Amino acid sequence: MRIAALLLAAAAAAGCKSTMDRAPSTWYPSAEVVCWNARCPNCRGTAAVGCGPCRAKGEVPCDQCRDGKEKCGTCGGDGKKDGKKCKSCDGAGIRACSTCGGDRMMTCKRCSGHGQLTCLRPIRISEPAPGPEDTWPMPPPK
């Protein structure tokens, strides 16, 4: 009993607050876990599915340029900076796209370039929502 009281006092001194009041509102009745089910129509038990936006290639067309080029940010597209030829674009006013490097393709944001996503399956949590006895710091002894 004394240890629990000491822990409670130490937690209060450190600025910790009880979670008793918010425990029921942060309880989720469902969650997702990695699917290893051999009967899954999406992954067939491999836990991986092809990425839709990039069609499992890991790259998508660049959304920052059309032809792999962009206006030079240093000279503003004039080709000159402070009256001299811009060194960043060699005076052309345009340069390779900073997103795709001029390739016109960029890494898929959805799969981070891997071409695959993890197959997740929903599960129901059958445990009851936590009560005051399940929260931290522990309620004071009665």
Q: What is the pLDDT of residues 42-94, one digit of tens each?
A: 999 999 999 999 999 999 999 999 899 999 988 988 899 888 999 889 999 99
Composition of the chain by helix, strand, coil, percent to 5: 15, 25, 65
CA angle 133, 136, 139 (to 5 degrees): 50
Instruction: Kindly report which listed range (15-29, 53-67, 93-107) carries the lowest average pLDDT score.
Output: 15-29
Mean pLDDT over each residue of the chain, to the nearest integer = 82
Rg (CA), the chain: 28
Q: What is the pTM of this model?
A: 0.56
